[in-house]
Structure 1
């Protein structure tokens, strides 16, 4: 079954984005219109257009965020300004959002932007939320983000997996770079997910999918591969950081690359911990890797993405 063949209950609508902005799930029910995750701030105009179109002239009543990474909450402020909707975030991220600590939220560390927003409500593991007229259970999913929450709908066996599980892997396990046991947490999350019998998975990035056992198997093999040699994970994170910046900016001057990317606090932290290389050397190596993977290209002194952000 392809992603286009997957059918959700009529009260739910999936909006697929890209690797800069998270996917969205829009639910319409007696509790009002609820949107799960809102994309990245610099694509706020496109987010507004997509959500406006999906709503068909109706209002948005509530935003629910699975976690507070910039690509999942970046549209919160713009959507709240337009619709006067409430915003619900994971309870364990309440304090850092209230004081808007960009270092604790890792926006500054990763060189990312997020429009400031105010959360109105919080939810935690074990809580139940109504979305699309259905009751969803909040499940803890530490690993990619230690405070991330998933949404599980047992009647229709629907799983909003955020970045804990994609069709081909999972998000970078960032806590590993901040001296937390991220790999162990990700393993525990995959073990927990193995106890569910999901029929449809709605991931944070990429298409919806139905072959749940195969995705879990790929994720477990990926985790084992990364744990066996943490430098692999570190290199993957560096490539993701550069790819994300490139998708956001759409072009970076080759002469500026070492400064704008190589000096990011996250890049410096990873370099000190795993590689201990000159910034210029590390920059050249990560650039070569992106070019070889054909996710970036060089033209007239500029580094350009292959494909556009949406």
Structure 2
């Protein structure tokens, strides 16, 4: 029997990135989204919630979202899925990103087992997610959308009251705004979202009050 989608936010690293565990309440099968680092902390959370991890999903290739992916893959023996192949260059330069930020933890470049494209579908525990390619913050950024639960994991595309940075390599402000207005907001005001940093919200509230969208 398929249960409901459960979500657990695990803030990791000095960037306080929202590594997210999402899983089915009945089978406990689920995925880890954006393990940016602090892998022992993530593993403890997985154990605490008795999760059965089917895969690691990446929204994009920045170090705070993907820095711990290869280590976690080794620990769990699961595939890394995503992001879009346009982030290949970022994932191949994670070790350089670590040096740039003065990060001393072991960070390894990431080679995903599968790239994602617009319109792809992923699933765990009977829950299906649609993949939306939403560049602007990063060229290969993707969003995971579950229509049945009216829920999206938007990574660093959109925040409560703000939007993703566009001053990093591969960023583009106009492209990011187009991703939000053309792909996310049309899903409906009632859609709830989890983002890569800080609290989530609903698209309707952002459409009405987010100063970057008006």
One fold, TM greater than 0.5?
Answer: yes
User: Shift of residue 117 of structure 1?
Assistant: 4.0
Q: Name the structure 2 match of 1:171.
A: 164
Pairing 1:48–2:54 present: no
- In terms of fraction of residues, the more helix-rich structure is 1
**Normalization by structure 2: what TM-score?**
0.80
1:157 aligns with 2:150: yes
Higher strand share: 2
Instruction: Render the CA deviation track for 1:118-152: whole Å, top value 9, x for unaligned.
Output: 42122111101113421111112112112100011
Show the counterpart of 2:176. Answer: 186
Task: Provide the secondary structure at the position in 2 that maps to 1:195.
Answer: helix
- After TM superposition, give the deviation of residue 187 of structure 1 in Å: 1.4
DSSP-derived class of the 2:158 partner? coil
1:213 corresponding residue in structure 2: 204
What runs of 5+ residues in structure 1 fail to find an aligned partner? 1-8, 225-310
- Contact 1:39/1:47, CA 8 A, preserved across alignment: no
- Structure 1 partner of 2:18: 22
Residue 201, structure 1, aligned to residue 193, structure 2: yes
Q: Deviations over 1:15-46 (max 9, x none)?
A: 24264333303223879432222133xx2222
Contact between 2:10 and 2:45, CA under 8 Å: does it hold in 1?
no
Tell me if structure 2 keeps the 8 A contact 1:21–1:39.
Answer: yes
Aligned residues: 205
Q: TM-score, normalised by structure 1?
A: 0.57
Corresponding residue of 1:39: 36
**Could you tell me how far 1:109 is from its partner in structure 2?**
4.7
Output aligned runs, 1:82-121, within 5 Å. 82-93=75-86, 95-96=88-89, 100-102=92-94, 106-112=97-103, 114-121=107-114
Unaligned runs of 5+ in 2: none
CA distance 1:185–1:94, shift in 2 (3 Å): closer
Instruction: State the distance in 1 between where 2:180 and 2:90 align.
Output: 27
CA contact (8 A) 2:60 2:87 kept: no
Deviations 1:179-226 (A, max 9, x none): x6711111101212221114311111222323x22223444x2367xx
Asked if the contact 2:137/2:166 (under 8 Å) is kept, the reply is yes
